[in-house]
Chain A
Amino acid sequence: MRKAIAVIFLGIIGYYLLATFFNIPFGIARVLDGVGFKYLAMGVPDTGAANVVTSIVVNFRGFDTLGEVTVLFLAATGMGALLHHREPMKRSRQNASIIVKAGARILFPLIIILGAYVFVHGHLTPGGGFQGGAIIASGFLLMFMSYRSYHVNHVVISRVESLAGSTFVIIGLFGLVYGHSFLANVLPLGTVNTLFSAGVIPLIYIAVGFKVGSELTGLLDTMLKTVK
C-alpha cells in the first residue's frame, strides 16, 4: 500500500517535471540569446582554446571547476576518513587468469598515455582534465583487478593530489596578482589550435588531470581493500 502511494506520488512529480521541461524552448532559438551565444562567439578568439567547452569550463566558469575539483577531493578525503583502519588492508580478489594478466601489462602503459593525451590536449580536442584523470584511474583499476599484489604508494598519491590541487589555486592567484582577478588568464594566448595556446587553460587542465587521476586511483585502491 505504502509502495503504491509512493509510486503514484513519484509518477505525478515525474509527469509535471517532464511536462515543464518539454515547455522550455530548445534548439537554435535557445542558442542565440543568453550567455550561451556570447560563449560561442567569444570562446575561441578571447580564450585561445579551440575547444569551446573547455574555454567555458576552465576559463569563463573556472571558479566552478575549482569547486568541482574540491568536491571530488572531499569525496576522496571523506572516504579515506570513514574507511580509516589502523592496520593495512588487503584486496580479497584472487589473481586473474594469465590472459588478463598478460593483456593488462600491455594495455596499462597505453591507457596511461591515452589519459595523459586527453588532458594535455583538453583545450584542443574533446575531453580534458576530468576525463583524462578518469582514464588513468581506469588503467590502475585494470592492474588492481589483474594482480593481487599490485600496490600503489599512498604517500606518493597524496603528494601528487596536494601538489596538483595547490597548483590550480596558485595559477588562480597569479591571475589575481598579475591580472587583477582570480583565475584571470595572464599568459599569452598563442595561436589557436596549437599545443602551446590558450594561456593558463592547459596548465590548469594538466593539474586537474593529475589530481583526478591520483584521487580516483587512491579511492579505488581504498575501496577494493576489504579484508585484513
Chain B
Amino acid sequence: MYFDPVLMIALPLFAAFLIPLLGRVSKEIPKYVPVVMIGFNLYESIMMLPHSMVKPIIVIIAAWKPPLGINLTIGALGNVLALIISLVGFVVAIYNVRFVQKEPTEKYHMLYMLMVAGATGMVLTGDLFNLFVFLEITSISSYALTAFIRDRNGAEAAFKYLLIGSLSSTFVLLGIALIYGTTGTLNMADIAEKIQHVDSKITIVALILLVTGFGVESEMFPLNGWAPDAYSQAPTAIGAAFGGIVVKAGVYALARLIYTIFNFQGVFFFILIMGVITLLIAEMSAIRQKQLKRMLAFSSIGQMGLVLIALGLATVRGVEGGLFQMFNHAMIKPLLFLSAGYLVYYSGSKDISDLDGMGRKKPLLSFFFAFGAFAIMGLPPLSGFWSKFIIISETIRGGFVVVAALALFGSVIEAVYYLRVVGRLYFKQPNESEKTKYVHASAILAMSVLALVVLFAGLFPDMVMSYLKPAATELVDKTAYIKAVLTAGL
C-alpha cells in the first residue's frame, strides 16, 4: 500500500518550509525532520516497486492529464533510482543527526533535505521543464552545502561549482526552449513521439545543449572540473551525498534524454567514447592525488565513466550493468567518504601519507574503508565485481574490444591506488598523534547499513538484477513508456 507518490516531493518541501517554525519550538526537532521525511520516501519507493515493475505509475498533478499538465511518470527506472537516492539520503541523514555541529544547523538540514527532494523529483518527473526546476533545486542546494564550512577552500570550490552549474542550467534551459519551440510540448513522452517530425538540424543542437547541461551533474569529461574540489571541500556527509544522490540524478537525466527523448543513434557511440576518456583521465588523476578525499572524488568520476560506457552500449544487458554499477557506486562511495571523513579527522591531516597504521588504532573505521575499497575495486564476491564483469563482458560482446581493454586498464589503476591506501592503513607503523573522540553510534549505524547492502548485493546479484532488468528494458525500448503516459486517464 503506497500513498500518492507526489507526496515524496511535496512533503519534504512542506517540511523544509516549516523547519524555521519547528526550530523555534525546540532546537532538537530540525535534525530529525530529514530522517523522517526521507524515511517516508524510502518507504514509498519500496512499496511502489512491485507496481512500477509491471507498468509505469502515472501521477497526474493539478487535475490536468498529460501533456497539458505536469505529471510524474514512475517507471521501473525512476523507481529504482528513487529507491537508491532515498536509501543513501536516509543513511546520510542518520549520520547528519550527530555529525552536524556547525551553526546554522537548522539551515544545513533544510538544504540537505531539499537536495534529496530535488534529486527525487528529477528521477520521478515526466515533464522536461519540471526536470529543469528540480535540477535547479538540487544544484542550488549543493552549491550552498559545498560552502557550508565557510572557509576559503570551501568558498572557492562552491564558486567554481556555481559557475559551471549555472552555465549548465542555461544550456539546459536553451535546449528545452528549442524543443518546446519545435514540438510545442514539454511532456517527455509526448516530445519523444513528436520529435521525429522535427528538422534534425534543430534537434541535434537541442541534444548538444542538453547533453552538455546534464553532463555537468553526471561528471562527464570535460565538464567535471567542479567535482574534485566540491567533493573534498564540502562537509564529509555532503561529499558522500554528491556521489550517491546528485550525480545519480544527473546520469538519469542524461540517460532519459539519449534513450527516450531523442532518436539519434550516433549519440550512443559519443557517450561510449566520452565514458572511456572520463574513466581513464579520472583514474590517472586519482593515482597522483595526495589527499584522501580528492582521490575518492576522482575515483567517483572514474566510476561514472564506466556507467557512461555502459549507457553508450545501448543494449539491455549493458544498461543493466550500468545501472548495477550506479547502484554499487551509490552505496560504496558514501561508505568510503563517511569512513574517510573520520580517518581524516583522527589523523589530523587530509593527506594519505598520514594515515599510517590507522588499522590498528581505529580497526572498525579502517575495516569499513577497506571493505568499501575492495567492493569498489570489484573483488569477488562483493557487488562491484558483478557490475564491472557485466559491463566489460558486454563491451566485448558489442565488438568494442579496445574499449574493454581500456576499461580493464582503468580498473587496474583503481586497484593500485585503493590498495595503496589500504596497505598504509594496515601495514605501516602508526604515528604518535592521538585523538580520543569516539565515533558516534549513528555514524557506525550509517556505515553498517551501507556495508550490509553492498555485501547482500554481492552475494545475491541475481536478486538485484531482477529489479534492474525492467529498468533497463524501459530505457532501451521506449514505446511502452510513451504509451503508458499518453494513454493515462483515457
Given known A78-B141, A180-B63, contact A64–B185 (CB-CB < 8 A): no
Alpha-carbon gap, A30 to B182, bound state (A): 8
Q: CA separation between A207 and B184, bound complex, in Å?
A: 30
Which residues of chain B (2-40) have a CB below 8 Å from chain A?
Answer: 4, 6-7, 10, 13-14, 16-21, 24
With A24-B178, A35-B185, A67-B130 in contact, is A78–B144 under 8 Å at CB?
yes
Task: Determine if A141 is an interface residue (Cβ-Cβ < 8 Å).
Answer: no
> What's the nearest-Cβ distance from chain A to residue B130, in Å?
6
Q: Are the C-beta atoms of B17 and A33 separated by less than 8 Å?
A: no
- Our pick among A33, A66, A185 for the contact of B63 (Cβ within 8 Å) is A185
Question: 1/0 contact trace for B160-193 toward A, CB 8 Å?
Answer: 0000000000000010001011111110000000
Do residues B182 and A24 form an inter-chain contact, with CB atoms below 8 A? yes
- A182 in contact with B205 given A162-B17, A175-B62 (CB within 8 Å): no
Contact with A along B362-387 (1 / 0, CB 8 A): 00000000000000000000000000
Kindly list chain B residues whose C-beta atoms are within 8 Å of the C-beta of A158. Answer: 20
A146 CB–B CB distance under 8 Å: no
Residue of A nearest to B138 (CB): A74
Judged by a CB distance under 8 angstroms, whether B134 is at the interface is yes
Q: CB-CB < 8 A to B24: which residues of A?
A: 155
Chain B residues contacting A20 (CB-CB under 8 Å) are 178, 201-202, 205
Interface flags for B106-148 (1: CB within 8 Å of A; 0: not) read: 0110110010000001000000011001101100110110011
Residues on the B chain within 8 Å of A68, using CB: 133
B434: interface (CB < 8 Å) = no
Given contact pairs A80-B104, A180-B63, A182-B6, A23 touches B21 in the complex (Cβ within 8 A)? no
Q: Interface size (B, Cβ < 8 Å)?
A: 57
Among A39, A63, A73, A183, the residue within 8 A (CB) of B16 is A73
| B104 close to A34 (CB less than 8 A) | no
Q: Which of B66-74, B346-354, B393-401, B454-462 contacts A (4 or more CB under 8 A)?
A: B66-74
User: Which chain B residues border A79 with CB–CB below 8 Å?
Assistant: 144
CB pair A74–B140 under 8 Å, yes or no, is yes
- Tell yes or no: A45 within 8 A of B by CB: no
Task: Tell whether B103 is near chain A: CB-to-CB under 8 Å.
Answer: yes
Which residues of A47-80 are within 8 A (CB) of B? 59-64, 66-68, 70-71, 73-75, 77-80
Residues 286-328 of B, flagged 1 when their CB comes within 8 A of A and 0 if not, give 0000000000000000000000000000000000000000000
Closest partner residue, chain B, to A170 (CB atom): B14
**Nearest Cβ in chain A — how far from B121, in angstroms?**
7
Interface status of B61 (Cβ within 8 A of chain A)? yes
Asked if B60 is at the interface (CB within 8 A of a chain A CB), the reply is yes
B150 in the interface (beta carbon within 8 A): yes
A41 to B478, CA, bound (A): 31
Partner of B67, one of A16, A35, A163: A35
Contact with B along A1-41 (1 / 0, CB 8 A): 00000000000000011001101101000100111101100
Q: Which of B61, B62, B202 sits near A23, CB closer than 8 Å?
A: B202
Residue of A nearest to B129 (CB): A64
Taking a contact as CB atoms closer than 8 A, the residue among A23, A63, A173 that contacts B130 in the complex is A63
CA distance A173 to B184 in the complex (A): 30
* Chain B residues in 8 Å Cβ range of A161: 17, 20
Contact of A176 among B4, B21, B110 (CB under 8 A): B4
A33 and B182 CA atoms in complex are apart in Å by 10
B345 within 8 A of A: no
Query: Which residues of A have CB within 8 Å of B60?
Result: 181
Minimum CB–CB distance for A126 against chain B, Å: 22
Counting CB contacts under 8 A, is A179 at the interface? yes
Which residues of chain A are near B121, meaning CB under 8 Å? 67
**Cross-chain contact A75 with B140 (CB below 8 angstroms):** yes
Cβ-closest chain A residue relative to B130:
A64
Cβ of B181 and Cβ of A78 under 8 Å apart? no
The answer, yes or no, to whether B64 is at the interface (CB within 8 Å) is yes
A-B contact pairs, 27 of them (CB 8 A): A20-B178, A24-B178, A26-B181, A34-B183, A36-B184, A39-B68, A60-B69, A61-B129, A63-B130, A64-B70, A66-B10, A66-B13, A67-B137, A74-B137, A77-B107, A78-B144, A81-B107, A84-B107, A84-B150, A159-B20, A161-B20, A162-B20, A166-B18, A179-B63, A181-B60, A181-B62, A182-B4
Q: Give residues in B with beta carbon < 8 Å to A.
A: 4, 6-7, 10, 13-14, 16-21, 24, 59-64, 67-70, 103-104, 107-108, 110-111, 114, 121, 129-130, 133-134, 136-137, 140-141, 143-144, 147-148, 150, 174, 178, 180-186, 199, 201-202, 205
> Given A64-B130, A162-B20, list of 6 further CB < 8 A pairs?
A20-B205, A21-B178, A36-B184, A59-B64, A67-B133, A86-B103
